[in-house]
Amino acid sequence: MTQVMSIDVPENYNPSEFDRPSVTVDVAIFSLVEDDLRILLTKRAERPFAQYWALPGTFVGINESLDDAANRALADKTGVKDVYTEQLYTFGAPDRDPRTRVITISYFALVPFTAVKPQINKGDSDVSWFSVFDLPELAFDHAQIVEYALTRLRYKLEYTAVGFQLLPDVFTLTELQKAYEIILSERLDKRNFRRKILSYGILEETGNKKKDGEGRPAKLYRYRDDAVAEVKTRRLFP
């Protein structure tokens, strides 16, 4: 059924020795939706993958950097660019994809929900947000990747202010605290939280106040332009 054509390969071609693995990137795209930490999953149209949700991913182009591939996968599903992404870990167990050998470099991305326009592209039958606390069964080893991504996200919150990447451009400290509480699944003390976040020195007041809803209007903050670079340089570990 599959039609074929011929190409030239070196005389000493030996599939078992020189076959190359496929290389993909898979991106755990986090966002805050309705007071819940959610992740964007896709379902492929073709069998035999129609039954499992999977992380958005793509093959790495032959002249494309890994970061570019990750950002392309991200933009393809969400329409957003210029958000926080970071390489996580590379998964390469020989049998992780039953079809063929695939090595995948995992990334995580933090996107403000207000910026997202989920898109169903060619090859996908569906794209949807799922709570990380109530995930469906995932394809391949993607459950492991999500767990790793979530652990890393929580860890980063402890010693950086990366949380604001999930919020709109301007936000109140209460909104930021709520984001942290959702991700860490624990209550935080308001005074201690504010002291800690402000001590990082990466937020600045806009001078404006939020005046919807009830109660006293809250000061609006934005993060300094150089905050992203600063957070990224503190990656290390793992």
Does position 105 interact with a second copy (CB under 8 A)? The reply is yes
Cβ proximity of 118 and 37 under 8 Å: no
Residue 126 neighbours by CB under 8 Å, 6+ apart: 42, 43, 120
Residue 229: its H or E element? helix 227-233
Binding mask 30-59 for a second copy (x = CB under 8 A): -----------------------------x
Q: Alpha-carbon distance 225 to 119, whole Å?
A: 29
Q: Which does 229 bind (CB under 5 to 8 A by kind): a second copy, DNA, none?
A: none
Q: What is the footprint of DNA within residues 68-87 (CB under 7 A)? A: none
Contact call for residues 183 and 135 (beta carbons, < 8 A): no
Looking from the CA of 222 toward its CB, the CA atoms found within 13 Å total 8
Torsional class of 213: left (φ above 0), alpha (ψ -120 to 50), beta (otherwise):
left
- Among 217, 232, 234, 235, which residue sits at the site for DNA (rule: CB under 7 A)? 217
Write down the least CB distance from residue 217 to DNA, Å: 5
Tell me how far, at minimum, the Cβ of 78 lies from a second copy, in Å: 22
Residue of 172, 181, 184, 200 that binds DNA (CB under 7 A): 172
Write out the residues near a second copy by the rule CB under 8 A.
Answer: 2-11, 13, 15-23, 59-66, 87-90, 92-94, 101, 103, 105, 151-152, 155-156, 235-238
